[in-house]
Structure 1
Amino acid sequence: MEAETVPTPQTARSRARRLLSRLWKPTEATSLTTLLRRREFRLLFNARLITYIGDSVSPIAVAFAVLEADGSSADVGFALTARIIPLILLVLLGGILADRASPISVMMFSDLVQGVAQAGLAALLLTQHASIGLIVVSQILYGVGYALQMPSLDALIPRTVDKEQLQAANSALFLALGIAFIGAPAVGGFAIASVGAGVVVAIDAATFVVSFALLWSLHRVLPISRVPAEPGLLHSFSEGWAELRARPSIGIGIIFGGTYGAAFVACISVVGPVSAVEWLGGSAGWGLVMSCVGLGLIGGAAMAMRLEFVHPLRVGFLILVLSTPLMFTIGLRAPHWLVLAAAVIAGVSIQWFNALWNTVLQAVVLPDFRARVSSYDSLVSWSLRTVLYSVAGPIALVAGLRATWMYVGALLIALCLLPLLSLEVRNLRLSAEERPPPTTAE
C-alpha cells in the first residue's frame, strides 16, 4: 500500500493560485492617476464629476423650491417624478441619436437642455415668480436632457481608454459619483439654508455650462465618425433589438439587474424613512445609514479598479448578494451598528456590480449599437423603478414594515441567483473571440 502524499505548503499555495486564477485576471491594476493622464478620459471624467455634484444637490433644491412656492409634499413628489416621465419616453431615442450621430454631440446637447431648464428655474426662484406648474415644466425639460444623455455615456467611455482600462474607467466614474453622493447633499442643504434654493439651482445650471465646455474640448481631440443614416427610426430600433437578442447574457442582465435595482431603491427610498421614524432615530438615523451606503459606494468603486474577474457576470451577481443583509438587519431590527455595517457592505457590493455590468455591456456589445442597447437597460430600470415607487408604500401598509423588508430581501437574493442558471451568464468572458457574431435586423 502506497503512503499518502502529504501536501506541502508549496503545493497548497500552488493549488490556491490555480483556484484564484479561475476567478480573476492577474492584470496590473490601473490607477486613477494613470487614467487621468489620458486627456480624453480626463475631460470626460471632469465633465461627469461636475455634473454629478450638481445632480446630487438638484433634487434637494427642487424640493425646497416647491415648498417655497407653497407646495405640499405631494407637489414635491410630482415635480421630481416629472423628470422621470421624459426619461422613460425618450431614452430609446437618445440611444439611436448617440449611435447614429455622435455620443459627444448628444451629451453636449443634453447639457444645454438641462442647463437651460435649471437656469430658467433659478431665474423664476430669484425673481419670486416660481409656481408649481412652472417648476414641473422645468423638470420635464430637465428630464428630456437626461434621457438623451444616459445612453451616450456607455457609448463614449470605451472610446476614451484602452480596452484593458475599461473596467477601471467605469470604476473611476462610479467613484466620482460616490464622492458626489456623499458630500454634495450636505453642502447643498447648508447652501439652501444660507442663500436659498434659487442660488443653488443657478449653481447647478452653471455645472452644465462647465460640462459643455469640457465636452467641447473632448469633441476636438476625439473626433467620432458618424454612422451612415438608416432608412428610419423604426429600422434603428429593430437593429438595436436584434443586437440585444444576439447577446443573451446582456438581456438577462438587463431584466434581472434592472428589477433588482428598482426593488432595492424603491424599498430604501419609500419604506426606509418610515422604518427609521419607528426605531432608527428618525431622519438623523436614516441619514447615517445612507451615509454608510455612500461610503460603501466609494469603496466598491475603488475595489472594482483593482480586481478584474475572468467571469464578470458570474462573480458580479454573487457579489450583489452581499447587499441583501441590509434588508434583513432592518427587518429584524438588528442593533444599529449591525445595520450600519450592512449598509457599508451593500454600497460596496452594488457599486462593484455596477462597474462590472457597465464594463460587460460596453465590451460585449458592438460599438455601433452600444448606446441603443444601453437605452434598453435604462428603460427597464427606470420603468420598473417608477412602478415600484408607487406600490412600495401600499405593500408596506398591507404586509407590515418588518415583513416587507424580509420579503424584499428574499426577492433580491432570488434576482441575484436566478441569472446564474444561464450558461451564457455563468460562462461569459470579455475576450473578443468569444463574442457572438454581429447581427442585423431582419
Structure 2
Amino acid sequence: MRATAAPVTGDTLIRNSNFRWLLGGGLVSMLGDQFSMLALPWLVLSLTGDSLSLGISVALMGGPRAVLIILGGTVADRYAPIRVMMISKFANAAILLILATLLLLGQASLPLAYAAALALGVASAFGIPSGTAILPQALPARFLQQANSLQMGARQLTLLAGPLLAALVLSSKDAHGQTSINALALAFAIDALTFLLSALTLKQVTMNTSRLASATRGMWTETKAGLAMVWRDVALRSCYVYWAVVAFFVMGPLQVALPVLAQERLQGAAALGVLLGTHGAGTLLGMLASGMAASMLRRRFGTVLLVVDAMVGLLLMALGQISASWQAAALLLLAGALGGYLQVAIFTWIQRRVLPAMLGRAMALFMAIFLGLAPLSAAVTGWLMRYLSVGELFCIGGAMLLAAAVAAALFTAIPTISGPESYERN
C-alpha cells in the first residue's frame, strides 16, 4: 500500500491502475469465498448430519459479524480502510490454512468447525466495512458509480460461478460415499490462497489519505461520533430508517416464503434453484445497468429510490399469485434487476455524501441494518406463515413495501435528495 495526496488517475475507469488492481484482487477473493461458504456447512454435516449443529455454525459466523461490524467500521476509519482490509485478508488466510492443515492431519471435529466459523465471522466484521470504504480514497469521484457497478456485478457473477467450481472440488467422495475430508481441506486451502493473492493486489493500490482524520480519541468515542454523524444528517438518517423498513419487509419473504412457494406450487427444489439463479442473474444485469445511468441517479437519487422500491413491492404482490415457474422466474428476474440497480446507486450515494474519515462507520451501520434485520425478518415471516398462505404473505409484504415507499414520498424529504457534490475529488 502506498499513501499519497492524490490517487492514480486515467482517462477512463478501466485505464485506472488502482481500479484494475482492486477489481482483479476482489474478483479472485470473492470467487474463493464461495469455496468456504460451501465447504464449511458440508464439514459440519459430514461430522454430525445434524441440522441444529449446522444452524449453530451459521450463527457463530453471522453473530459476531453483526455485533462487531460497527466497531469494524470505526477501526477502518481510525487506521485506514485498506490497511484494515489487508490485515483481515491475512487473518482469513491464516484461519483457513490452519483449518485445512488440521483436516489433513486427521483432526476434524465439530469444535474445530465451530472455532473456524467464529474466527471467520470476527475477521469479516472488520473486512466488510473497510472494503466498502476503499473506493473513494482510491478513485476520482467521477468514477465511483461505474466502479461500484463493475465491482458489485463481479461479486454477483462469483455468486453464480463460484459454487459450481467449489462443487467440482468437493465432488471427491470417501469410502462411505460422503465428501472426503481431503476435498474439504483443499477447498479451504484454495480460499486461503485467494485471500493471499488479493492482499498482494492491495499492496499495489495508491490511496488518497489526505482527507483522513488522525486518531486522537478513544475507540468508543469515535464510534459514537460516527453514529452521531449519521443521526445529524437528516437525509442520511431518513434513508437509513427507510432502508431498515425495506429490509424487514423484503428479506424475510425472499429467504423463507420463496422456498415454500416453490414447494407448494412449483416443482420443489429444482424450481427453487431456477428461481434463485434467475433472481441472481437479474441482480447482475441491474448492477451493470446502474453504471450506465450515473448522471440520472445523481440528479434524482431519492425519487428513483422510492419509485424502484414501489415497483418491487408490486412485483412481490404479483409473486404471490403465480401458478407456473416461468411466471415466478420473470417476476424475480425483474425484481433482481431493480434491486441490483439500486444497490449500486445506494453505495455510491453514501460514498459521495460521507466524509472519508467517517465512511467506514457509515457503511458499517448500513451493513448492520441488513445483517441484524435479516434473521428477525426471517423469523417473523416463518411465524406468520403458520397463519397465512404463501400468497397472502407475499401480498402483505409487497403491500407494506409499497406503503413504505408512498409514505416516504409524502412525509419525508427523500424524494428531494440528489447526489451530493461536497466531497468529490476530481
Contact 1:51 1:207 in 2 (8 A): yes
Q: Which runs of 5+ in 2 are unaligned?
A: 1-9, 173-179
Find the counterpart in structure 2 of residue 351 from structure 1: 340
Matched, 1:135 2:113: yes
Of 75, 98, 101, 1:97 maps to: 75
Q: Distance in 2 between matches of 1:378 and 1:288?
A: 28
Q: Distance in 2 between matches of 1:120 and 1:411?
A: 47
Letter in 1 for 2:185: G
Distance 1:422 1:94, change over 3 A: farther
Contact 1:322 1:345 in 2 (8 A): no
Find the counterpart in structure 1 of residue 290 from structure 2: 304
Distance 1:307 1:51, change over 3 A: same
Letter in 2 for 1:92: I
Of the structure 1 ranges 51-60 and 414-423, higher mean CA displacement relative to structure 2 is found in 414-423
**Residue 391 (structure 1) shift:** 3.2
**1:172-321 pair list within 5 angstroms:** 172-194=150-172, 196-218=183-205, 221-222=206-207, 224=209, 227-308=213-294, 309=296, 310-321=299-310
Find the counterpart in structure 2 of residue 379 from structure 1: 368
Matched, 1:331 2:320: yes
Q: Which runs of 5+ in 1 are unaligned?
A: 1-31, 436-442
**Residue 431 (structure 1) shift:** 3.9
Contact 1:253 1:419 in 2 (8 A): no
Of 69, 91, 105, 2:47 maps to: 69
Distance 1:43 1:415, change over 3 A: farther
**Residue 416 (structure 1) shift:** 3.2
Letter in 1 for 2:207: L
SS at the partner of 1:222? Answer: strand
Per-residue CA deviation, residues 322-367 of structure 1 (Å, 9 max, x unaligned), is 3335533442233321211111111111111111111110111112
Find the counterpart in structure 2 of residue 27 from structure 1: none
Distance 1:46 1:320, change over 3 A: farther
**1:104-123 pair list within 5 angstroms:** 104-123=82-101
Contact 1:329 1:338 in 2 (8 A): no
Find the counterpart in structure 2 of residue 125 from structure 1: 103
Contact 1:259 1:381 in 2 (8 A): no
Contact 2:32 2:191 in 1 (8 A): yes
Q: Distance in 2 between matches of 1:352 and 1:198?
A: 37
Q: Distance in 2 between matches of 1:230 and 1:418?
A: 42
Distance 1:199 1:397, change over 3 A: farther
Letter in 1 for 2:138: T
Per-residue CA deviation, residues 167-226 of structure 1 (Å, 9 max, x unaligned), is 1111111110111111112222233123733222221121111111111222xx336356
SS at the partner of 1:430? Answer: coil
Aligned residue pair count: 401
TM-score by length of 1: 0.85
Of the structure 1 ranges 351-360 and 333-342, higher mean CA displacement relative to structure 2 is found in 333-342
**1:353-368 pair list within 5 angstroms:** 353-368=342-357
Q: Distance in 1 between matches of 2:147 and 2:18?
A: 11
Q: Distance in 1 between matches of 2:311 and 2:171?
A: 37
Letter in 2 for 1:244: V
Distance 1:235 1:277, change over 3 A: same
**Residue 307 (structure 1) shift:** 0.6
Letter in 2 for 1:190: L
TM-score by length of 2: 0.88
Distance 1:150 1:249, change over 3 A: same
Contact 1:259 1:384 in 2 (8 A): no
Distance 1:43 1:296, change over 3 A: same
Contact 1:294 1:347 in 2 (8 A): yes
Find the counterpart in structure 2 of residue 6 from structure 1: none
Letter in 2 for 1:379: A
Of 26, 32, 36, 1:54 maps to: 32
**1:12-31 pair list within 5 angstroms:** none
Which has more radius of gyration? Answer: 1
Find the counterpart in structure 1 of residue 6 from structure 2: none
